[in-house]
Each structure stands twice: as structure tokens, then as C-alpha cells.
């Protein structure tokens, strides 16, 4: 057989059967490159086993243990009420801050809504009763005049027109007829 087959057997030496082990030993006696590989693998395995068997102690193990224990005792030294308050704040801080933010937004939106008033509606509500866009006489007029008035409403009404513009249009059309 060739050396590559024996290279695989060298790496698996601990798991070989007696027949394969005997064949490997015979080859190692005749081949110097395989014998050198066998020595390197054996040295590598010994080094790994030696390192694995050593117990590793951290530097300043006593100082590390001492600092951990001091931190534990310092944490326990706080009163129960202080610990409960800290836990409550940590658990509920986000919830209550978001609730407060929501309340602030509600207040600002309500103030903004109060400040926004319709100037046209204020004009009609604050003016005297002499300016009336629609009055009952418009309803009781003859059908031809009623048709003319309703066509005026249709001229002013549009799905894209705002309320203010609609009221201004009606005011301009009918203020001359009512005065």
C-alpha cells in the first residue's frame, strides 16, 4: 500500500485493530517519513493530554473572589424599601413616561383645537340678525324664483370647496337680494 493510507492509520492509531496496528508497525520500520510523522503525532497528543490535565487558576483569584463578594454584600445591604423602589422604577419607568407624554400631547392638541376657530363662522355668529343668508321668504316664493335660488346653491357647492368659501359664495349671491 502507499504512504497516504498509512498516514490515516497513524492519526487513528489508538482506534486500530491488532491486525492494522501490526501492519502499521511493519511499515513504520521501513519508511522513515511515516516514522517521523508518527513521532510528531505522538508528541502532539502527549502535549494536548498534559495541558488538558492541568488545573488552571486565574491570576489574583483571591482578589477576584473578594471583589465579587463585596459587590454581592453591597447589593444586599440596601433596605428592602429601597430595593422595591428601584425595582418598581426599573419596571414601570417606560410605561409611566409614555403615559405622561400622551397626556401632554392631549393637552397641546386640545389647546390647538381651541385656538383654531372658523373666522367666517365667527363673523356670522357675531354679526347682527340683519345679515341672513337664507330666510323663510326664499322658501315661499314662486317655483321659478325657487329654481333660480337653488341653482345659486348648486353654483356655490362643489366637493372641493371648503365651508368658508361656500358661505362666502352664498353671501355674495344672496346678500344683495336680501337687503
**What is the C-alpha radius of gyration for the chain, rounded to an integer number of angstroms?**
49
Looking at residue 111, its pLDDT comes to 83
Asked if residue 81 and residue 41 are part of one domain, the reply reads no
User: Lowest-pLDDT range, 14-18, 25-29, 65-69, 110-114?
Assistant: 110-114
- Give SS3 for 157: coil
Q: Is residue 110 one of the residues assigned to a domain?
A: yes
- Helix-helix angle 163-178:143-156, to 10 degrees: 150
Q: Which of 53, 74, 91 is the last residue of a domain?
A: 53
Please report whether residue 28 resides in a domain.
Answer: yes
SS (H, E, C) 120-137: HHHHHHHCCCCCCCCCHH
Residue range(s) defining the domain that contains residue 71: 61-115
Q: State the CB neighbour count (10 A cutoff) for residue 10.
A: 20
Asked whether the predicted pLDDT for residue 131 surpasses 60, the reply is no
**Confidence (pTM):** 0.32
On whether residue 78 sits in a domain, the answer given is yes
Residue 163: closest CA among 108, 111, 123, 109? 123
- On whether both 80 and 103 belong to a single domain, the answer is yes
Q: Going by C-beta distance under 8 Å and a sequence separation of 6 or more, which residues neighbour residue 104? A: none
What's the total number of domains in the chain? 3
Position 106 scores a pLDDT of 92
Give the CB-side neighbour count of residue 146, counting CA atoms within 13 A.
8
Cell of 53: 490535565
Please name the helix (run of DSSP H) or strand (run of DSSP E) that holds residue 111, with its range, or none. Answer: helix 80-115
Amino acid at each position: 500500500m502507499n504512504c497516504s493510507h498509512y498516514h490515516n492509520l497513524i492519526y487513528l492509531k489508538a482506534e486500530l485493530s491488532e491486525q492494522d496496528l501490526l501492519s502499521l508497525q511493519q511499515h513504520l520500520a521501513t519508511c522513515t517519513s511515516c516514522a517521523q510523522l508518527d513521532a510528531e503525532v505522538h508528541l502532539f497528543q502527549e502535549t494536548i493530554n498534559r495541558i488538558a490535565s492541568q488545573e488552571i487558576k486565574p491570576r489574583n483569584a483571591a482578589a477576584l473572589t473578594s471583589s465579587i463578594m463585596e459587590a454581592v454584600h453591597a447589593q444586599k445591604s440596601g433596605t428592602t424599601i429601597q430595593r422595591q423602589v428601584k425595582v418598581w422604577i426599573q419596571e414601570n419607568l417606560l410605561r409611566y413616561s409614555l403615559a405622561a407624554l400622551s397626556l401632554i400631547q392631549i393637552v397641546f392638541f386640545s389647546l390647538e383645537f381651541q385656538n383654531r376657530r372658523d373666522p367666517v363662522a365667527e363673523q356670522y355668529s357675531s354679526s347682527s340678525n340683519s345679515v341672513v343668508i337664507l330666510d323663510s321668504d326664499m322658501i315661499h316664493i314662486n317655483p321659478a324664483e325657487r329654481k333660480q335660488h337653488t341653482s345659486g346653491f348648486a353654483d356655490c357647492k362643489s366637493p372641493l370647496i371648503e365651508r368658508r368659501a361656500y358661505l362666502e359664495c352664498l353671501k355674495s349671491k344672496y346678500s344683495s337680494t336680501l337687503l
